[in-house]
Amino acid sequence: MPPRLELRNITKSYPGIVANDDISMSIMPGEIHAVLGENGAGKSTLMKIIYGAAQADSGEIYCDGKPIAAHTPATSRALGIEMVYQHFALFESVTVVENIALAVSNTFDLDALARQITELSNRYGMPIDPHRRVHDLSVGERQRVEIVRCLLQAPKLLILDEPTSVLTPQAVVKLFETLRQLASEGCSIVYISHKLDEVQELCDTATVLRNGKVTGTARPKQSTSLELARMMVGAELPEMHVSPSVPSEKPVLEVRGLTAPARDKYGVELKNVSFEVRGGEIVGLAGVSGNGQAELISLLSGERTHGNALSIQIDGRAAAHLNASERRKLGMAFVPEERLGRGAVPPHALWQNAVLTAHRTGLVRNGLVDRKGANSFAAKIIERFKVKANGPQASAQSLSGGNLQKFIVGREIALQPKLFLVAQPTWGVDVGAAAFIRQTLVDLSRSGAAVLVISEELDELFEICDRLLVICQGQVSPPLIRTKTNREEIGLLMTKVDRGNGTNGRGEVAVQD
């Protein structure tokens, strides 16, 4: 039997980098095949090539023994190759059934299609309502829509790109059940991930990529995590040093009864949010995206102000009515989720981006920018935080995600903040840089600063945080001590806040530790 899919010597370069270098692999019918690798290892590029959304510079792709010529997404779909993107390919302004109608190529009978969707989604244990608009759906529900859309085509090969990065642990279990059911029906699955435990649980075989090259193939169920990690990362990972925290007497950030309407129709209303962060500790806020994080972040950073000045206090002073600049004067620093566009101005040089928040440190005199000072300020950050960049003159957009994030975190830390807010600190950052950034956050807190980390990566939060909060539907749970909780408890809170004791008794429980 020929393999369902075979890649021979695929090479693809983009200006400046070779994304895929001579990659060969094959996948049999009914096989669940992992493509493992760090961010930037070339996984997503390879999937785009398999799906036809990008064309390889050289190399061949065979499906069921026949070469695929003139490869586009349309030809892939005609061959039964379907892809669930990491960032979903759904249109928000139309309904589920309309979205799916766009992808299936038969007649435009929405009612019949809706019945088909209901039937199929129930059969695979992931019910969805075909008549809801996509923007009203949670991320997990959107993923179901994507998968059901693929399943309707009776695919022979299903590609999933980092499918669990936005799911709760419970949803992941559910997804794996569906995938196993599919594989048992003969569908091949290509599962892209950088999470070793998932790959070991689900996949039959794995191809490991590093810097665009295949560094090994393995049977994950028979390999140890260490073997796989070595193939992925190449070198040993730096070890984290997390010393015990010594929280300050008084909280540096205190949020009391913060209630705020949703930003827009697609936002989430914040309901009576209360928590505090003390100097010397890291508090993590977990939650599935779209549960009010965006609202909370903009209220904390000062992008949005609040009428009740006392609902947010920084270092004992009412701050909810202050704008971002005034809050920074109180000693707050902030690293937003979007590096390009909010954390930095993409086409501007690093030294110019440094001035954006560091102008208070004497880089601007009499309204004029001290270019020399700004340059050396940026150069110091580049050196201290090991940013790989072409000097302070390099533009922000020329840096890789990890290096730009190191620069932005470094810039904010150079301001010696008392309170450090950071959203998704290691999103799209390679493993090495992520470890560095996490260590930096730990070191910052141990030197006395209060650090609040908002992240969807539970592993990350468990690694560095002293206390954990969970946000769900605009409500924030009481704090949990990291060493006394576990993934299951957090996972349950991520899907439903226990309303019985959700509003009082916060803070104290954990601080006594």
Q: Give whichever of 91 and 181 is closer to another protein, judged by the CB atom.
A: 91
CA angle 329, 335, 337 (to 5 degrees): 140
| Alpha carbons 334 and 408: distance in angstroms, whole number | 9
CA angle 436, 439, 444 (to 5 degrees): 125
Site membership for another protein, residue 94 (CB under 8 A):
yes
Window contacting another protein (CB under 8 A); options: 211-219, 264-272, 414-422, 493-501: 264-272
Site membership for another protein, residue 411 (CB under 8 A):
no
Q: Give whichever of 48 and 194 is closer to another protein, judged by the CB atom.
A: 48
Q: Give whichever of 102 and 242 is closer to another protein, judged by the CB atom.
A: 102
Instruction: Write out the binding residues for another protein, residues 12-51 only, by CB under 8 A.
Output: 48
Q: Give whichever of 36 and 54 is closer to another protein, judged by the CB atom.
A: 54
Instruction: Write out the binding residues for another protein, residues 99-138 only, by CB under 8 A.
Output: 101-103, 108
Q: Give whichever of 54 and 465 is closer to another protein, judged by the CB atom.
A: 54
The contacts of residue 510 (CB under 8 Å, 6+ apart) are 466, 467, 479, 480, 481
Site membership for another protein, residue 239 (CB under 8 A):
no
Window contacting another protein (CB under 8 A); options: 120-128, 259-267, 360-368, 403-411: 259-267
One DSSP character per residue, 71-138 reads: --HHHHHHTTEEEE-SS----TTSBHHHHHHHHS-S---HHHHHHHHHHHHHHTT----TTSBGGGS-
| Alpha carbons 269 and 506: distance in angstroms, whole number | 20
Closest contact distance (angstroms) between CB of 33 and another protein is 22
Backbone torsions φ then ψ of 493, nearest 5 degrees: -65, -30
Site membership for another protein, residue 161 (CB under 8 A):
no
* 270, 120 Cβ separation under 8 angstroms: no
List 69, 119, 236, 265, residue binding another protein (CB under 8 A) = 265
Window contacting another protein (CB under 8 A); options: 62-70, 91-99, 418-426, 470-478: 91-99
DSSP summary character for residue 55: -
Q: Give whichever of 94 and 237 is closer to another protein, judged by the CB atom.
A: 94
**CA-closest candidate to residue 146, choices 104, 89, 188:** 89
Closest contact distance (angstroms) between CB of 27 and another protein is 21
The contacts of residue 456 (CB under 8 Å, 6+ apart) are 165, 166, 286, 287, 288, 289, 424
Structure tokens at 48: 């785009």
Window contacting another protein (CB under 8 A); options: 27-35, 92-100, 292-300, 422-430: 92-100
Instruction: Write out the binding residues for another protein, residues 61-90 only, by CB under 8 A.
Output: 72-74, 77, 85, 89-90
Closest contact distance (angstroms) between CB of 116 and another protein is 16
Closest contact distance (angstroms) between CB of 98 and another protein is 6
Q: Give whichever of 94 and 356 is closer to another protein, judged by the CB atom.
A: 94
* 245, 451 Cβ separation under 8 angstroms: no
* 149, 177 Cβ separation under 8 angstroms: no
Q: Give whichever of 49 and 494 is closer to another protein, judged by the CB atom.
A: 49
User: Which residues bind to another protein, rule: CB under 8 A?
Assistant: 48, 53-55, 72-74, 77, 85, 89-94, 98, 101-103, 108, 264-266
